[in-house]
Chain A
Amino acid sequence: MADITDQKERSFPKIEFTDSEAGALTFPSSKSRSYNYYKPAKLRATMYEDVTVDVQPDPERHLSQGWIYGFGDGPGGYPKEWTTAKSADWHKFLDPNEEWEQSIYRNNSKVVHQVELCLKNAKRAGVYDHWSPSWLKFLERNVGAWMHAENGLALHVFSSIQRSGPTNMINTAVAVNAAHKMRFAQDLALFNLDLSEADVPFEGQAHREVWQEAPEWQPTREVVEQLTATGDWCELLFATNIIFEQLVGSLFRTELVMQVAARNGDYITPTIVGTGEYDYDRDLGYTRALFRMLTQDEEHGEANKELFGTWLTKWVPRCLEATHALQPIWSQAAEKPVTFATSQENANSKFVSVLEDLGLDAPKELDQ
């Protein structure tokens, strides 16, 4: 039995009732209960705005002493000169997805649970056993190669951009984009691992050689590497989310994998790739909002349109070369419900629609 006579005297802070609740007294500013240093987009500030706006300061707003550290070869902070695009007020951009901490984890956790449940069910039902060798080969090579692209964009495109944008709203939206890409790339890799461990003819390492050497994938890899080598953050975002993702990413994911998988007895891959599509839909949302703001900028809109035209001229041919090289993979699955021509027509048409929304002309290269 415990000895209760040898109790040490415990030391602990004393609670004191201070009546420090809101409304306990009336005095100047006692009712000032909203952030007053920025103007919300609507009458009432959203949670997203309250936790995001002005956290990254700006000498053009309240930062009176300027940036106190500089780079060896230029100013510090977030110089507007890090892109050739111009805005009369970069702070006008607000992420239509309103991403902040809770939305990031809630959305991505939902996706994680969905993917895990799907993969668990697949294993339990032994669905991989019924897939044809040609379909397994398709996944092994093509979905295997594509996950590299997603991972490269996550680490060397979106993660990188989020250091460079002039406002917190831009950089946070892009950081979330990076998280989406990372999670999606990893989900594809772990799906690949599941297939490697299933008792089916699937070579789990084949993706490396395909991505690195297969002729149909080299132009895609080349564009991804060219993207990672781009210094202008706005060009990088435009070239990736407006051009590459439309012409190559959506072409592969939406117009091919999502269309042909079910006909090949595979309801697992579309579930996983569908999460990537859902991510891209959200990410395209913020990207459109940003570039719409730039093309409609009263002061710089026309110059921006001209600039984006040069980016289209530079990146569209590269992406089209990649898509043409991918054409043979449309024939690799046993069931071929769509043709390359149909898929590309759909992808191009959606791309033109995005450009129209931004007020940009479709580049002539699309007609070739």
Chain B
Amino acid sequence: MSRQSLTKAHAKISELTWEPTFATPATRFGTDYTFEKAPKKDPLKQIMRSYFPMEEEKDNRVYGAMDGAIRGNMFRQVQQRWLEWQKLFLSIIPFPEISAARAMPMAIDAVPNPEIHNGLAVQMIDEVRHSTIQMNLKKLYMNNYIDPAGFDMTEKAFANNYAGTIGRQFGEGFITGDAITAANIYLTVVAETAFTNTLFVAMPDEAAANGDYLLPTVFHSVQSDESRHISNGYSILLMALADERNRPLLERDMRYAWWNNHCVVDAAIGTFIEYGTKDRRKDRESYAEMWRRWIYDDYYRSYLLPLEKYGLTIPHDLVEEAWNRIVNKDYVHRVAQFFATGWPVNYWRIDTMTDTDFEWFEEKYPGWYSKFGGWWENYNRLAYPGNNKPIAFEDVGYNYPHRCWTCMVPCLIREDTVCEKVDGQWKTYCSETCHWTDAVAFRSEYEGRETPNMGRLTGFREWETLHHDKDLADIVEDLGYVRDDGKTLIGQPHLHLDDPKKMWTLDDVRGIQFMSPNVLLNQMSDDEREKHIAEYRLNDMSKIA
């Protein structure tokens, strides 16, 4: 369809809306934003007549590649180190995708602009596409990769695992609370516009380097829909900016959304890219370099900064602090170390690190070896059962961390840990901003203004609480992370499938009591807690090694 025809067609389609006079659509999902004075912004034009054949064609290419991968025996060359992490990633990502579909009516309800409604409804179908195409990719991995364990229980594992819960924010955050906070700022303006770059472009590049060209095939196809979604988000953002009363809410939501996305996405994708790859060429970009390019330059400098002239208060300090955490505070390395510490309660295997890996890390992150090398050597040393417990329960100078009540990634940059009594319970936070998110932002009042539509933090937020004071073997069994012989764990701290003696079983982890840091924290006296937190803040691997 020519551009002129498309414009004409789009104008015609916009005639389909009308001003209701008998009854107005129910407001199922409220917002504290107001759009009374907002000029209507026109998003990217899309009509169903061109949309369906375009997507069908994209699908045909994806499925053609999938057939080709099977016929060409792609799994002969796939790195297990890489594909194991996909058991985690692909268990998480279909839920955020389908949540994005479910979020669209929230934005439709909240924004009085029929031009945008059309684009949002098209996005809804895109997101159904993304969720199911990703589920199908995972099924292909399960059917064709050497070790299907973990893929085979994917949605159950996602729903009962500590890491799955971290990822679940990147989905529940889209569909809950204030409709604009959730479906526009958190989902579209930050998650889709900024972080899909690392999720759907940078990470698939790394997959290709590890012999897997299906992840890039699927995710680049997904990413090609994102420009329309970004356009939806941008249009709504400009409408919101037109009303002065929205400015404080926008400032609040940009701070929350930016920081939460950083905490969650950089933790996961940073780990996959840095610790899931076998490609240790010195000139291949590190996650930090990718982040600088995709997030700092492409998003922050090219997208966010120009919005300042429209009155958007940009969280410059938080952008810089996110960069600081990645480059100077070893955020990604600490997260990877934590995931590896928790291997018995994972549904994927985590490879040991070699001298080649150590050299690469030292090259990209000078000083890495002195901070983390010793721990990973211990991880290698304790990889097999028989003479030792899992590394989390051996003395390697690493204390199991407190969990951040807000982002649910543990408080790994220990000196930044905040401990406060909030809503009658002592809680820990990974950062001042995560504490602010819980104590200030997600409340029914913000800066003296009523914000009844803002969401609330709910649920059993500390995963460990559910398993407090239980035997580790019982926990693993309850979670279902056991292979079909009824005893061998799905998670293993190595990749050796060829030697049964190297595979950990329930018997190897029985007799180990698992304790919740938060339950213990709340059992402490004030003096004990103060001392404990002071010591915790000092328990930095860089100071131990």
* A100, closest chain B residue (CB): B132
Taken residue by residue from 228 to 245, chain A's Cβ proximity to chain B (1 for < 8 Å, 0 otherwise) reads as: 111100000000000000
Residues of B contacting A151 in the complex (Cβ-Cβ under 8 angstroms): 16-17
- Asked if B307 is at the interface (CB within 8 A of a chain A CB), the reply is no
B153 and A37 within 8 A (CB): yes
The distance from the CB of A172 to the nearest CB of chain B, in whole angstroms, is: 6
Docked complex Cα distance between A196 and B145 (Å)? 57
B160 and A63 within 8 A (CB): yes
A228 and B20 within 8 A (CB): yes
A115 and B175 within 8 A (CB): no
Docked complex Cα distance between A273 and B457 (Å)? 48
- Asked if B105 is at the interface (CB within 8 A of a chain A CB), the reply is yes
A116 and B75 within 8 A (CB): no
- Asked if B298 is at the interface (CB within 8 A of a chain A CB), the reply is no
B49 and A37 within 8 A (CB): no
Taken residue by residue from 39 to 81, chain A's Cβ proximity to chain B (1 for < 8 Å, 0 otherwise) reads as: 0000000010011111111000111111111111101110000
Residues of A contacting B17 in the complex (Cβ-Cβ under 8 angstroms): 148, 151, 155
Residues of A contacting B155 in the complex (Cβ-Cβ under 8 angstroms): 35, 37-38, 53-55, 57, 62
Taken residue by residue from 131 to 167, chain B's Cβ proximity to chain A (1 for < 8 Å, 0 otherwise) reads as: 1110110010011111111001111111110000100
A35 and B152 within 8 A (CB): yes
A20 and B78 within 8 A (CB): yes
Comparing B7-15, B191-199, B509-517, the segment that makes contact with chain A is: B7-15
- Asked if B308 is at the interface (CB within 8 A of a chain A CB), the reply is no
The distance from the CB of B211 to the nearest CB of chain A, in whole angstroms, is: 7
A76 and B172 within 8 A (CB): yes
- Asked if A168 is at the interface (CB within 8 A of a chain B CB), the reply is yes
Comparing A11-19, A252-260, A287-295, A298-306, the segment that makes contact with chain B is: A11-19
- Asked if B203 is at the interface (CB within 8 A of a chain A CB), the reply is no
A112 and B53 within 8 A (CB): yes
* A154, closest chain B residue (CB): B121
A71 and B9 within 8 A (CB): no
Q: Which residues in window 170-187 of A have CB below 8 A to B? A: 171-172, 175-176, 178-179, 182-183, 185-187
B16 and A148 within 8 A (CB): yes
Residues of A contacting B52 in the complex (Cβ-Cβ under 8 angstroms): 105, 108-109, 111-112, 183
* B101, closest chain A residue (CB): A175
B153 and A76 within 8 A (CB): no
Cβ 8 A contact of B9, one of A111, A193, A204, A208 = A193
Given A20-B75, A104-B125, A112-B48: A221 and B22 interface contact (C-beta under 8 Å): yes
A229 and B25 within 8 A (CB): yes
A102 and B59 within 8 A (CB): yes
* B28, closest chain A residue (CB): A231
Docked complex Cα distance between A231 and B104 (Å)? 16
Given A57-B155, A225-B23: A70 and B145 interface contact (C-beta under 8 Å): no
- Asked if B77 is at the interface (CB within 8 A of a chain A CB), the reply is yes
The distance from the CB of B185 to the nearest CB of chain A, in whole angstroms, is: 14
Q: Which residues in window 214-240 of B have CB below 8 A to A? A: none
Docked complex Cα distance between A54 and B158 (Å)? 10
Cβ 8 A contact of B75, one of A22, A222, A225 = A22
* A204, closest chain B residue (CB): B12
The distance from the CB of B13 to the nearest CB of chain A, in whole angstroms, is: 5
B56 and A25 within 8 A (CB): no
Residues of A contacting B281 in the complex (Cβ-Cβ under 8 angstroms): 11, 13
Comparing A129-137, A159-167, A355-363, the segment that makes contact with chain B is: A159-167
Comparing A26-34, A324-332, A334-342, the segment that makes contact with chain B is: A26-34
Residues of A contacting B283 in the complex (Cβ-Cβ under 8 angstroms): 11
| Residue among B30, B77, B106, B485 facing the most chain A CB atoms (10 A cut-off) | B77
B172 and A229 within 8 A (CB): no
Residues of A contacting B466 in the complex (Cβ-Cβ under 8 angstroms): 64-65
The distance from the CB of A109 to the nearest CB of chain B, in whole angstroms, is: 4
A69 and B458 within 8 A (CB): yes
Given A22-B144, A71-B456, A159-B121: A51 and B139 interface contact (C-beta under 8 Å): yes
A32 and B149 within 8 A (CB): yes
- Asked if B521 is at the interface (CB within 8 A of a chain A CB), the reply is no
- Asked if B355 is at the interface (CB within 8 A of a chain A CB), the reply is no
Comparing B36-44, B246-254, B359-367, B495-503, the segment that makes contact with chain A is: B495-503
Given A36-B152, A160-B28: A208 and B15 interface contact (C-beta under 8 Å): yes
A68 and B148 within 8 A (CB): no
Residues of B contacting A250 in the complex (Cβ-Cβ under 8 angstroms): none
| Residue among B63, B149, B159, B490 facing the most chain A CB atoms (10 A cut-off) | B159
Residues of B contacting A54 in the complex (Cβ-Cβ under 8 angstroms): 155-156, 159
- Asked if A101 is at the interface (CB within 8 A of a chain B CB), the reply is yes
- Asked if B380 is at the interface (CB within 8 A of a chain A CB), the reply is no
Residues of A contacting B8 in the complex (Cβ-Cβ under 8 angstroms): 193
Q: Which 6 A-B pairs have the closest CB atoms?
A: A37-B156, A28-B483, A62-B159, A51-B135, A29-B149, A13-B209
Q: List 17 A-B contacts (CB under 8 A).
A: A20-B79, A21-B144, A25-B498, A32-B483, A33-B142, A55-B95, A69-B173, A69-B456, A77-B176, A101-B128, A108-B48, A112-B49, A155-B17, A155-B117, A159-B104, A179-B124, A225-B24
Known: A155-B108, A163-B28. 13 other contacts (CB 8 A): A18-B76, A20-B76, A25-B146, A37-B154, A63-B160, A68-B458, A71-B453, A72-B451, A162-B101, A163-B102, A186-B16, A193-B9, A228-B24
B interface, CB within 8 angstroms of A: 8-9, 12-13, 15-26, 28-30, 47-49, 52-53, 55-56, 59, 63, 73, 75-80, 83, 94-95, 98, 101-106, 108-109, 117-118, 120-122, 124-125, 128-129, 131-133, 135-136, 139, 142-149, 152-160, 165, 168-169, 172-173, 175-178, 208-211, 278-279, 281, 283-284, 408, 444, 451-461, 463, 466, 483-485, 487-488, 490, 497-498, 500, 503
